[in-house]
Amino acid sequence: MKYILLLLLLLFISLSCKTFDFKSSPNDTYKGKPNKIQITIYDAFEKTDTIIKGKMKYSNILFFDKKNRIYKSYTINSKGDTLGKNCERVFNKKERTIKRVCYNDSTTNVRAIYNFDKNFNKSLFEFYRNNKLSSKRVFEYEKNGIDYIDYGYDKNNKLKDKTLVLHDRKRREAKAISFNLKDGSINIIIEEKYDKNGNKYEQNWFKEGDQLFTSYTNRKFDNRNNFIYGEKLSIKKSDTTKSITTIEYKYDKKDNITYKLMKTNNNPSFVEERIITY
């Protein structure tokens, strides 16, 4: 369980750091200044060489302001019931999120506060649930002002995890190192590589500093820099298991994605449809 939690932690760190500075979604940018986008996920299966869209799983509703930023969102199920909370974001003059508040009916249920230092680097995240502090993350920067140590604390201000995040010359995340709090040894290292267009084409996971156990490799992208092919290698001692992911897209006249089909080992995983209102 502890091992799984560490993996989830590092994934969270990687995603949260990117989400923090993006004006819209961490994985997508939109053209033509949309007002609203509904992203719906469906089960998918194949029948007589035809992809069949199955049962709806959930739907995300995103609302954009005049600066093309997502300022409000919520999630619904197939019955139209709200699953996720109604969430709103507040931005600073550098267009970074400084507050995210989620509501359950008319009551604030989840709240996140983001603080910056004088150089507009993230310095503190505080997360509240039912108006009580549930956790926080503190960022301590190295002398270069780019690399940092990410400390995670629980609601009792007890240190739960520590990760060093290093960047390349273009200030992209290149390596994340998770430490054992008891003796300072290395638990997990994640290394990332980018192509000339800035796409992450490889990500390697190491245990205890040098033993490779997972690799996301051979990633390919289309001429819009969207991910279309990738291999995952799961390594255990001398055994290596490979799975292949492919994604197909459709676009509207403004070149925004309206459809995704993801396959794993050539079997349909899900269909994603987007209804975009401009």
Tell whether the torsion through CA atoms of 183, 186, 188 and 189 is positive or negative: positive
pLDDT in tens, 210-242: 889 999 999 999 999 999 999 999 998 889 999
Q: Confidence class of residue 185 from pLDDT cuts 50, 70 and 90? A: very high
* Exposure b/e, 160-171, CB count within 10 A at least 16 = b: ebbbbbbeeeee
Residue 58 domain-assigned (yes or no): yes
Least confident of 13-22, 141-150, 172-181: 13-22
pLDDT over 50 at 6, yes or no: no
Q: What is the reported pLDDT for 105?
A: 64
User: What value does the mean pLDDT take over residues 49-73?
Assistant: 92
User: What value does the mean pLDDT take over residues 155-177?
Assistant: 96
How many residues would you count in the chain? 278
Residue 223 domain-assigned (yes or no): no
Long-range pairs, 240-244, Cβ under 8 A, ≥24: none
Residue 175 belongs to domain with CATH number: 2.40.160
Total domain count for the chain? 1
Average pLDDT, the chain: 87
Q: Taking the chain, what is the end-to-end CA distance rounded to the nearest angstrom? A: 45
Identify the residue with better confidence: 130 or 4: 130
* Phi and psi angles of residue 9, each rounded to the nearest 5 degrees, phi first: -60, -50
pLDDT over 80 at 197, yes or no: yes
Residue 200 domain-assigned (yes or no): yes
Least confident of 94-98, 221-225, 271-275: 94-98
Residue 232 domain-assigned (yes or no): no
Residue 25 domain-assigned (yes or no): yes
Name the pTM for this structure. 0.81
Q: What is the reported pLDDT for 268?
A: 96
Q: Confidence class of residue 84 from pLDDT cuts 50, 70 and 90? A: low
Single-letter code of the amino acid located at 141? Y
Containing structural domain, residue 126: 2-212+254-277
CB atoms within 10 A of CB 100: 18
Residue 238 domain-assigned (yes or no): no
Q: Confidence class of residue 180 from pLDDT cuts 50, 70 and 90? A: very high
How far is it, in rounded angstroms, from Cα 107 to Cα 84? 14
Residues 6+ apart with CB under 8 A from 242: 231, 232, 233, 234
Residues 6+ apart with CB under 8 A from 151: 137, 138, 139, 140, 159, 161, 162
